[in-house]
Structure 1
Amino acid sequence: MDGEMDQRAELRKPTRAPTRDGVTAAASRIAEILPPTPLLPVELDGSTLWAKAECLQPVGAFKIRGAWNRLVSLPKGERERGVVAVSSGNHAQGVAWAARELLMPATIIMPSDAPRVKMDRVREMGAQIVEYDRMKQDREAIAMTLCDKRACAYVHAFADPWVIEGQGSAGVELAGQMNRQAGGPVERIVTCCGGGGLASGLALACPDAEIVTVEPEGWDDVARSLADGVRRSVGENPPTTACDALQTFATFKVNFDVMRAHDVRGIWVSEAETRAAQRYAFERLRLVLEPGGAVALAAMLSGKLPPGPRTAVMLTGGNVDPASFASVLAGE
């Protein structure tokens, strides 16, 4: 197994696997505090594509779902000790938001090269940040050390059953919206993918739909893992990518098992295709997407996936540095 796969003994082995019943319960919890995100029709090559705008969540990304479900599921005695999380920004903001709402302390381990806009918003919500070098330091080791010292919970960004079930609440919403707006059940869901938390949750929520993951070129470890039937790492020298939210070195067993059981498959898109999708979303949908939140749309616009009946695409995040976004819009 690749060197990355130890992953702190799979985060000390989750005590259970995520389930569809867990997704349903998470959807009920989340519906109590958050309205559904819009499902927008997009005309593409004579077909209608349906885009779920998770970029319009209060923290600008779908990650608020899993964070809320995990934190609200903690026993009250554990909440007082707070939580630790690792994230380049979107999961960080989700955890910080949920912790603030529940009056819990939160510490986020963030890469030093994370977008400043994401770091600033995490601090604004009251969470403490510990920075690390994503290419040289073991973020899981840093997080586990803090958790041991404080006797608190570790809220992993994707390898946690409660987080996976929380992300799956987007699929529960989507299923209802597609029946009302598209005239029938969703048949294919195209989703941005880092570690596979959202893809796993969607697979559980919508077991009859085809799930297709999309990753940045050179960071397509999930796609290669699913194709090979064994978990793969991105390797020692992955290329530079603007998709900071999707820079995970390897998926975890808990995610891989769900995705493989539901025949999830994956593809990748280039940096240029991602920028084109960001421009398209802004010009046609009036939406701001960060690079990692645009790759699923990029797969459709580039023709790597043909439009089909009742296809939905997840627009997963909109937390982008203004200067970087301006350069994208200018075609630089």
Structure 2
Amino acid sequence: MKTSILSFALLLCSLCLSAQTIQKTSGNPVFPGWYADPEGIIFNKRFYIYPTFSAPYNQQVFLDAFSSEDLITWKKHPAILDTAAIKWAKRAVWAPSIIEKDKKYYLFFGANDIQNDQEKGGIGVAVSDKPEGPFKDHLGKPLIDKFHNGAQPIDQFVFKDKDGQHYLFYGGWKHCNVAKLNQDFTGFIPFEDGTIFREITPENYVEGPFMFIRNGKYYFMWSEGGWTGPDYSVAYAIADSPFGPFKRVGKILQQDPKVARGAGHHSVIQIPGTEQYYIVYHRRPLTETDGNHRETCIDIMTFNDKGEINPVKITKEGVGPVTLK
């Protein structure tokens, strides 16, 4: 009997040690709930994700955020912005993009899913003293409320260039524009030719623009295909300027029939001072047929010797823990 108890105790000890040596991962999705179009970013040595609440348009009247110290455990910050704070927004609050400037946090978002220049809505800006909000309307009206160059005013991404200039990339309906933001994000500065909205649409572009700089090159990324379909995916181009020209290189994120469908509308997090890159994106579980049933996931993104992005392997495991220094 004593031998049996001792053997059992040794087995338990062995199992405990084994569990300690297994590295915990985030798992995908990284947090529960239907969320899409996630922007991942680092503020104050903490990871943040700002997604769209994925539901019918009339229920998309607020934005939640999530934060983490290690990419593993996520804290929910509910209703950091809602239509009560944005009087002109009534539905379809989409695809937040956020940036810190002068100790304030500016959240760009699309609202109302306008279909023409006569409808009220478009791209707005909200501001807060904290990354977790609450956010209030910065302008009291949309920043962009018209179609320019055929681009629906949705899916905005705010980008800070190497010289400190901020640009807004945006656009649905298969057109993408870039505009130069002014100092207080209340409007735009015209380009040298007098235009405000410059079209930079690459081949196969549909929506969801994103940009980052690596080794002096501008990596411009976007989503292709239909957002409710299995062909939803992410492609990219590389240029020497934030204005292109952007020649499509190819797809780097798409569905895996064994894991999930419709992987797209993403962002990228780089761990400062390292070559560790993560892609934050949404996808649809294999068990779901509702177009709004989308989950936020994170996987590793790598590059080859030519600086091209390797195809991303979407996983159920997600990523391992990361501590920011």
Higher helix share: 1
Compute the TM-score of the two structures, normalised by the length of structure 2. 0.28
The structure with the largest alpha-carbon Rg is: 2
Where relative contact order (Cα < 8 A, 6+ residues apart) is larger, the structure is 1
Compute the TM-score of the two structures, normalised by the length of structure 1. 0.28
